[in-house]
Amino acid sequence: MIKAAARNLSWLYARSSYVICREIHNKKVIFSGIQPTGAPHLGNYFGAIKKWHSLQNEQNDCIFSIVDLHSITLPQDPVKLRQNIHLMTACLLACGIDPKTSILFLQSQVPQHAELSWILGTFSTMARLSHLPQYKEKSQNLDVIPLGLFIYPILQSADILLYKANAIPVGEDQLQHVQLCQHLARIFNNKYKTVFPVPSAIVDETCARIKSLRQPDKKMSKSDMDFKNRIELTDPPDLMLKRIKESLTDFTSAVTYDPENRPGVSNLILIHSLCTGKDFETICKENEHLDTGQYKLVVAEAVIEYFKPIQYEMNKLLSDPVYLTGVLNDGKEKAQEIASRTINEVKEAVGLSASCL
């Protein structure tokens, strides 16, 4: 009887351990980053930052980075870059990223990112990197291509793997970069030992769906040299109104959602929907008495009202740079604690360790 009870206890212990392990294994560790190359625009907000906020509120382990090392793959003015780092920090905090719940840090302050990037680079090939779409797109107009632009997807993989993240929120245009990260994780695990989880992509199409205001066949982009093509979170209300009034639509006056044939007005309906929570059908019905020129004013009002509290909080945060620096320093310490453990494990596996001598 005692032996039977012991067996039952042993089974229960094994079963409970299995459940705990499964819960740990299934827990989402989120990593995502954003470049400090200016203020986020509507596509960045709805496609990335708002998603970060949702993932944070779902009790995931969220690690968010302002990836300044990535930003210098193309030339940056040092003074402007420092200003943009504070601006991006204020934007993220104003949009609901909570540094007490999530880790928010500056990439360059955690040197293990560059260290792991070098190690992963030894498993990468020039052929694979040259086929990545972001490299093709960004290099096509350059006479001289910086090496950083070519190899930055390896650093991107290091960003993810350093924190053993298993879920990566990305737009469709970044899927091949996540696939590269998966590839590098598998190569390392097979060659040495299992150190990295193989991450999965959380694909959000919203960012890709929000189009340029003046070129609605292209997505809204921070790197676009024409500021008329986007609305930034820092734009004052009168500029938001101006941008939307100048947005390209067509010669049909009705407000209808038809992305293939009417991409301009459909883009405005999408933005209106994201700012109000109304579906496309409701929006079209409510505005059927307006022409597209009048409808632009309705969209502008919705955008201005939606971002008013965010802009208020952002301006308040920007007036306290000491606080913003403190947030990044606190995040750096938390990030370094995780990064140091991972890089030591990696070094031990690769043989870059003097511990056995």
**249-266 per-position pLDDT tens digit:** 999 999 999 999 999 999
Q: Establish if 210 belongs to a structural domain.
A: no
- How far apart CA 204 and CA 181 sit, in angstroms, is 18
Asked if residue 199 and residue 241 are part of one domain, the reply reads no
Q: What is the reported pLDDT for 207?
A: 58
92 belongs to a structural domain: yes
239: amino acid identity, one letter: L
Is residue 222 included in any domain, yes or no? no
Shared-domain flag, residues 345 and 309: no
The answer to whether 96 and 313 are in contact (CB under 8 A) is: no
pLDDT value for 12: 37
Percent of the chain scored above 70 by pLDDT? 90
| Confidence check: pLDDT of 50 > 50 | yes
Reported as a pLDDT band with limits 50, 70 and 90, residue 1 is very low
Pairing state between β 29-34 and 61-66? parallel
**Is a pLDDT exceeding 60 seen at residue 346?**
yes
The Cα 211–Cα 207 span in angstroms is: 8
Which token pair is 219? 């997505």
Query: How distant, in Å, are the alpha carbons of 66, 194, 213, 346 from that of 198?
Result: 23, 10, 37, 15
In a domain, 106, yes or no: yes
Domain identity same for 330 and 267? no
Q: Are residues 42 and 180 in the same domain?
A: yes
Q: Could you give the residue numbers annotated as active site?
A: 138, 219, 222
Whether residue 188 lies inside any domain: the answer is yes
Are 157 and 43 members of one domain?
yes
Among 35-39, 92-96, 308-312, the range scoring the smallest mean pLDDT is 35-39
Query: Is 72 inside any structural domain?
Result: yes
Are 88 and 167 members of one domain? Answer: yes
Instruction: Identify whether the C-beta of residue 166 lies closer than 8 Å to the C-beta of residue 199.
Output: yes
CATH number, domain at 294? 1.10.240.10
**CA distances (Å), origin 296, targets 201, 224, 234, 344:** 35, 22, 20, 55
Residue 312 shares a structural domain with residue 236: yes
Contact of 99 with 330, CB cutoff 8 Å: yes
Structural domains of the chain, count: 2
Positive or negative torsion for Cα 220, 226, 232, 236: negative
The answer to whether residues 100 and 173 belong to one domain is yes
Provide the domain limits for residue 256: 227-318
pLDDT at site 227: 85
Query: 83 and 58, same structural domain?
Result: yes
Rounded to whole angstroms, how far apart are CA atoms 254 and 268? 13
